[in-house]
Structure formats: C-alpha cells, structure tokens
Structure 1
Amino acid sequence: MTRVVVDAIETQEDKLRFGDPIGCHYHWLEPGAVDSYGDSVRRLAAKVELAVDAFERTSTLSEEVFAGEAADTLRDRAGRRHEESATVRDNLRGLGRAINAYSDVLRRHREGLEQLRDLAVSKGLEVRDNRIWPPVETLPGDATQKQADAWEADWKAYQACFETKIELRDARRAATRELVKALAEHAGVHPDKDRARLVPAGANQVRFGELRREAAEEALEAVQAGDAAEAARDTVDVLRRREQTALGRLEELVVAEAPSDDIQAQAAKVQALHRELDGAKVEMRDAEAVAQREQAQAYRAARDLADAEAGRPRLVVEPADGQPGRPSDLRDRLG
C-alpha cells in the first residue's frame, strides 16, 4: 500500500486539518444585512453632525448678540458639547465604514466559497453535504502508473482547494479583527491590552480591562451628574436674579402709586417667580445629592483600579448562601 506523499499542512480552522473534508457552505450573516446596518450607523453619524454644527454655532455667539453671565455659561457648555459630539460623530463614521468594509469581506468570502466549490467540481473531486471530500488516502501496491498519476492529481487538486479555503479564512478573520478594533475605538475599551493580567477577587478574578472600564464609566457618570448639578445651580441663580428684579419693579410701582391692576399683575409675577425658584431649589438639592453620590462611586472605582495596578489585594465580601446581591467592597462595608 502507498501512503499519501503530499505535504501535510497543519493549518486549522475549527479543527480543520489537511486531509479533512473542506466545508464550502456560507453560514455567516448575509452581507446585505450587514451593509444595511453599516449604512444606518453612518446615517446616525450624519444626524450627530447636525448637533456638532448647532453646538459650534452656539459656542461662537458674539457678545453683541448675547452677553452676560448666562451667555458665557451657555457658550462654555456648547464648546464642551461640541468637542464631545464631534468625537461621537467621528467614531460613528469610523464604525460605519468598518461595518461596510466587513460586509464587503463577507460578500467576497461567500463568492470565494462558491468558486471553491466550482473548482472542486471541475477537478473531479467529490462534493457532498456542502463539503469537498479528499481522495482516497492509499493506493494498492499493484496500481498502474495511470492510476497513480490520477491519484496524485486528485490530491494536488485537493491541496489547492485546501489552501484556497485557508486564504479565505485568513481574510475573513483579519476583517473581523478590524471590525472589533473599530468597535473598541467607538466604545473606548481596549481589553486585549490587559488580557494576561488578572486581579484576585475572592473566588473570582477581575481583569484590568474590566476595572478600567468600570472606573471610566463611573467617572463619566460623575461628570454628567456634576454638569446636571451645575446646571441646576445656574437655574437657581437666574431665577433668583429675576425674582429680585421683579421685586424691585414692584417696589417702584408701589412708590409711584401706579394703578392697582399694574401692581397686582406685578405681584402675581413675583409670586410665580418665587414658586418657580422654590421648585428649582428642590431640583438643585436633588441634583447635588446625586452628584455627590456619583462622585463617591467614581472615587471608589478609581481606588480599586489603583490598588489593582499597585498589586494590592482587592478585598470583597461574598453574600451568604441564599442571600441575593453582588459582592461589595469590604472597605466600603467597614467605612
């Protein structure tokens, strides 16, 4: 008996080895559906572009058009929002392009598998159950030269099909990595950089990437809560000034002995402003409480990350059996 004399290629795809049946069936997402999703992401980026323009125009309002403390605050906030929205717009554009590029790769992959199937059929290989089957592995010792040549040609044809399948696989995997990279850029998360470094947490293990993502999320929530509290304080200040102005106007009307209807209308305006101011003060206190809570959580997440990077153990307490809830930081429990 004569064994196969073709080079053994140990390249794998889902346990695929040289000599195994080669799958030629496309079973990934439809390229058209992927392309449509990429288009929708890019349309969303176009909508964000409108917000970018609006924030830019607001941040560049001249003093002649809008002046004063409120105008300065508005321009400052619009400037910050312009930078944030521009970053979101750029990330969405990049993500949309990456998704569209991935759909093109899937389309080429599907066409490549169809061409691979046609190649196998043209070479006389057996194609069954969406697989290209290898030729027989051995030849009898009394095989003729013609049979040996045909057998060797079949194996060379199989090798060509196998190498084509590996090339298709590598191209698809490279495109997948590019898409994942674009997703990571959009989310601001890069867990691969810390894949090998682990931090013990009781019976569990916490990855550095997870700690950094948690710290970033808590920091963002703290910033957003701080902005909300600042906006609430600004609203209270504006209403307080409006109330003082209305009170001054009421005093002027009383001193000037203006008609009673004018005095009553001004008094009603003062009362309405006072009620609005009281409501704004309540909202301000609530916003400040939320901001303090979010700030404390951000400090806690940053402290956990710093401890992990410094190699200090991260102490947690596990809930008792039957007690719902997630592990909490032991230092928080003990103050």
Structure 2
Amino acid sequence: MTRVVADRIETQQEALQFGDPIGCHYHWLEPDEVDSYGDSVRRLAAKVELAVDAFERTSQLSEDVFAGEAADTLRDRAARRRDESATVRDHLRGLGRAVNAYSDVLRRHREGLEQLRDFAVSKGLEVRDNRIWPPVETLPGDAGQKQVDAWENDWKAYQACFEAKVELRDARRAATRDLVRALAEHAGVHPDEDRARLVPSGAREVRFGDLRREAAEEALEAVQAGDAAEAARGTVDALRRREQTALGRLENLVLAEAPPEEVQAQAAQVQSLHRELTEARVEARDAEAVAQREQAQADRAARDLRDAESGRPRLVVDRAEWAPADRPTDLRDRLG
C-alpha cells in the first residue's frame, strides 16, 4: 500500500509537511542577475555620494565668496539637500548590500537543492518531476526482515532530505525578510507605524494607516463578493442546461408513448430541476446585489484614500431613504 499525495504547488503554498513530495527544483531568479542588480544599486549610491559632497561644499561657501540674502538662502537649501542626499545614499548602500546578500542566499539555495537531489538519488529514493517522493508508507504483514530494514533506511534518508529542505527554505525566507526590510527602509514605508502617523487634511486629521487598511479590506470583500456572484451565475446556467435536457427527454418520452410511470418520473425530475433553478436565480440576484454593494464600498474607500493622500478635503454625504410612517425604522439600515 502506498501513500497517495495531492500534487500541490509547493512554490505557491510552501505548506511542506512530513510525508509530502520534496521539491528539489530551483525556480527563483538567477543569483548572478540579482547580484548584478545589487551592484548597480551600490554604484548609484556612489553617484549620490558625489551629490552629497557637492551640496556640502555649497553649504560651506564663505561670506567672502558669496554674501547677501540670496547666498544665505542658497546655503540653507544646500544644507537641506545634503542631509536628504546623505539619507538616500545610506539607504541605497543598505539596499545594495541586502540585494547582494540575497543573491548569495539564492546561490547557496540552488547548490543545496542540487546536493539534496544527488543525495536522494544516492540513497535510492524515487526522484521524479523534480520531486523527491516518500517511500511506501506501510509494508505487508508478511514482509521479511531484509525488506523491513530497507524500508526503514529509505524513511531515514527521506527524513534527512526533509530536514535539509526545511533548513534551505527557512534560510531563504529569512534572507527575503531582510531584503524586504531594506526595501521598506529605502522607500520610507513602515506599515507598523502607519497607525501612529497623523497627517493634517484641512480642519481634520487623517489616519493613513486606517484608510489604507480599510481600502484593502473593502477591495478584498468586493473581490470575494464578485467571485460568489460569478459562481451563482454559473450554477444558474448549469441548472438551466439540465432543465432543458430534462425537458427534451420528457418530450421524447411523450412522443414515443412511453409507459406512464417513466413519463411521470421524468416530469417529477423536470419539476425538481425547475425548483432548484428558481431558488438558484434568487440566490444569484442576491449575490449580484451584494457584489454591487461591496464594489461601491470598495470604490468609496479607494476615493477616500486617494483624496486624503492628495490633501483634498473629504465630503461625506449619506443618502436618506424614504420609508412609510407605519414602517419601523431599522437603525442598522440607517447607519450602514
């Protein structure tokens, strides 16, 4: 008896568990290309260093060389540009070092996968489709001692491959996190600090972290609602085709003067499909309404974020809905 394993895409899910096939194919960027990009970033940092020196010399112009209000303004601006350029230079240097370090990790990862594959082959494990497949999960009850020993050795070899794969994966993930931190530092993006960052907008203050989070959540809910509506429409189409097929069979039975019990059974099936189709149409209409509402909310959240980032004041207008006097008002409907 062998273990049946679903062929998951490990590069996307990264949900490797003991007993799963172990991927040993390198599919990331070529380390040399990543290394070349890191070198180019560090060369750019060297060019920015020249700008830092130029602003430094300009900010230190003496009064004997250049005096007056214009000279003071020039020196002040040069000093600010020097500080800004120095910050960019430091960030570029850090980013270049992080990219070069990441290329080294990718290079070691590729070499480790090659060694992992060679080790698995040398131990007699099955290597197919760039994967190391686990041994047979169980043995028959009449298996001999030699067969049991070979089975245990295969599982020990698989365990060594599994542990090596986990170590390679963890090292690559750690390097990826370091690279992301360097990118965030260079771009000045600190998501954890968004909640504490307040930016004035007119007479009010806008919390950009909250707006970004709200826009992202609304966009995700709109996508999910759209998928649900699409699935509901697909169900309606499928039931409609089944109903048409069942009606065609019923017509053929009637024309062929089939026995009454066959005609009644087919008619009952048509009625059942018609009921399912009616219910599915109602669900599809509800899902479509939800999708439209979620999309409108996502568009509104995106506009609010865009207006806040551009510094425009936000005008929020709630549309009042008329309700008969004898109808109780639902505050949840009124307040959204």
Q: What is the TM-score when the length of structure 1 is the normalising length?
A: 0.59
SS in 2 for 1:17: coil
* Residue identity in the other structure for 1:21: P
Tell me whether 1:326 sits opposite 2:303 in the alignment: yes
Return the offset for 1:69: 1.3
SS in 2 for 1:93: helix
SS in 1 for 2:158: helix
SS in 2 for 1:156: helix
CA distance in 2, matches of 1:152, 1:64: 87
Identity %: 76
The aligned length equals: 220
Preserved contact between residue 2 and residue 141 of structure 1 (Cα < 8 Å):
no
Return the offset for 1:326: 2.7
Preserved contact between residue 2 and residue 140 of structure 1 (Cα < 8 Å):
no
Q: Which residues of 2 match residues 46-85 of structure 1 at below 5 A?
A: 46-85=46-85
Return the offset for 1:332: 3.5
Question: 1:181 — aligned with what?
Answer: 181
CA distance in 2, matches of 1:103, 1:307: 32
* Residue identity in the other structure for 1:17: Q
Preserved contact between residue 41 and residue 93 of structure 1 (Cα < 8 Å):
yes
Q: Residues 151 and 174 of structure 1: is their aligned pair in 2 closer, same or farther, counting only changes over 3 Å?
A: same
Q: Deviations over 1:51-78 (max 9, x none)?
A: 0000000001111111111111111110
Question: 1:106 — aligned with what?
Answer: 106
Q: Which residues of 2 match residues 24-35 of structure 1 at below 5 A?
A: 24-35=24-35
Question: 1:147 — aligned with what?
Answer: 147
SS in 2 for 1:85: helix
Q: Deviations over 1:16-39 (max 9, x none)?
A: 211111000001111111111111
Preserved contact between residue 35 and residue 100 of structure 1 (Cα < 8 Å):
yes
CA distance in 1, matches of 2:34, 2:134: 34
Q: Residues 320 and 109 of structure 1: is their aligned pair in 2 closer, same or farther, counting only changes over 3 Å?
A: closer
CA distance in 1, matches of 2:13, 2:163: 12
* Residue identity in the other structure for 1:305: R
Question: 1:172 — aligned with what?
Answer: 172
Q: Which segments of 5 or more consecutive residues in structure 1 lack a partner in the other structure?
A: 4-11, 195-207, 216-297, 310-317
CA distance in 2, matches of 1:165, 1:56: 51
Preserved contact between residue 120 and residue 161 of structure 1 (Cα < 8 Å):
yes
Q: Residues 124 and 51 of structure 1: is their aligned pair in 2 closer, same or farther, counting only changes over 3 Å?
A: same
Preserved contact between residue 24 and residue 131 of structure 1 (Cα < 8 Å):
yes
SS in 2 for 1:326: helix
Question: 1:40 — aligned with what?
Answer: 40
